[in-house]
Amino acid sequence: MVSGAQAPDADLMDRSTVPAGIALQTTSTWPRAASDNLRQLHAFLCDTVLMTGIGFEPPVTIPNWGVLERGVNK
C-alpha cells in the first residue's frame, strides 16, 4: 500500500505484506510513475514479488518543477 504523496507513509508501509525494501522502492517511484517509470515499476513488482524474469530499470528522476516546452507532444 503506497501513498501518492512525496513522503513515504509509515502506516501504509506497515500494512504492506511485501518486504519493506520493495514497499519503499514502490513508494518512492509511485509519485513519479509517468509513462516509462510506470512500466518499469510494473516489471519491478512482477520480478520481485511474483519472481518473474521480465527485467527492469531503475526509475528515471523527474524534476520537481520545470518550464513547459510548448508545442511538444509527449
Residues that bind another protein (CB under 8 A): 5-7, 31-32, 34-35, 62, 64-68, 70-71, 73-74
62 φ, ψ to 5°? -120, 130
CB of 5 to another protein, least distance (A): 7
User: What is the number of alpha carbons within 13 Å of residue 15 lying toward its C-beta?
Assistant: 9
The grid coordinates of residue 31 equal 509519485
CB of 66 to another protein, least distance (A): 6
CB of 65 to another protein, least distance (A): 4
Structural contact between residues 52 and 44, judged by C-beta atoms closer than 8 angstroms: no
Cβ proximity to another protein, 53 vs 66, nearer residue: 66
Cβ proximity to another protein, 6 vs 52, nearer residue: 6
User: What is the number of alpha carbons within 13 Å of residue 9 lying toward its C-beta?
Assistant: 14
